[in-house]
Amino acid sequence: MTSTVPAPGTLPRVLGSARAGKTPTAQDSALQAVLLDMDGTLVDTEGFWWDVEVEVFAALGHTLDESWRHVVVGGPMSRSAGFLIEATGADISLAELTVLLNKGFEDRIDHSLPLMPGAARLLAELHQHEIPTALVSASHRRIIDRVLASLGPHHFALTVAGDEVPRTKPHPDPYLTAAAGLGVDPAGCAVVEDTVTGVAAAEAAGCHVVAVPSVAPIAPAARRTVVSSLEEVDLAFLRGLMTQMR
């Protein structure tokens, strides 16, 4: 798939320690960049979002069905919040609910922000070997910036937030935006994702995907490798994956 240039006003946040545009060597020429999801992939926060949703709707007098958790996981706030409003019939606007959910989530990550097993080691390895790396999330910019303080902004050449692209996951826009910002071909990018929604976005952009399921299962497919934990993923694994799929 051919990459598209992001529309004006949709460029990602470029960080000060960026290594974007690094010329690949013979050793890593197949792997041009690594693009990483945030919630449920690097930080163990998918449960945080559901807990906040349950609490907010309880205050509104509604009980959320546990089966809805698979519907809302991994998607943009507008989709998940909109679904819950429609499903419960709650008397609240999407804008009002978005504020409540973001506030509840921020309160939780201020107290605890556990990393997924293997996340810190993988980020450190990519940084050490100067692999262009981007954080690509459906979360809003205000949330990403809070989480970056714990992940280490120096690990990322740029970040893309869900409220900074015309269409967020499952559309390809976030990953096309990240690839364009790094100056690489999406086909040369390895994406690490934990949800079906994120996987769909990465594959629609033409990237190779490593799926690490968090809440709902993800089946293997062409250009997609499924692992049980980030502890199975390192630079050698990603380079080998890209070489095999060329």
Tens-place pLDDT, residues 146-204? 899 889 999 999 999 999 999 999 999 999 999 999 999 999 999 999 999 999 999 99
Separation in Å, CA 23 to CA 18, 133, 176: 13, 14, 19
Is residue 37 part of the annotated active site? The answer reads: yes
At 80 the pLDDT is 85
User: Is 177 in a helix, a strand, or coil?
Assistant: helix
Find the catalytic residue in 28, 39, 173, 194. 39
| 60-88 average pLDDT score | 87
Mention every residue, 6+ apart, whose C-beta is less than 8 A from residue 128: none
Find the catalytic residue in 37, 185, 194, 234. 37
Q: Has residue 29 got a pLDDT over 60? A: no
Is residue 107 part of the annotated active site? The answer reads: no
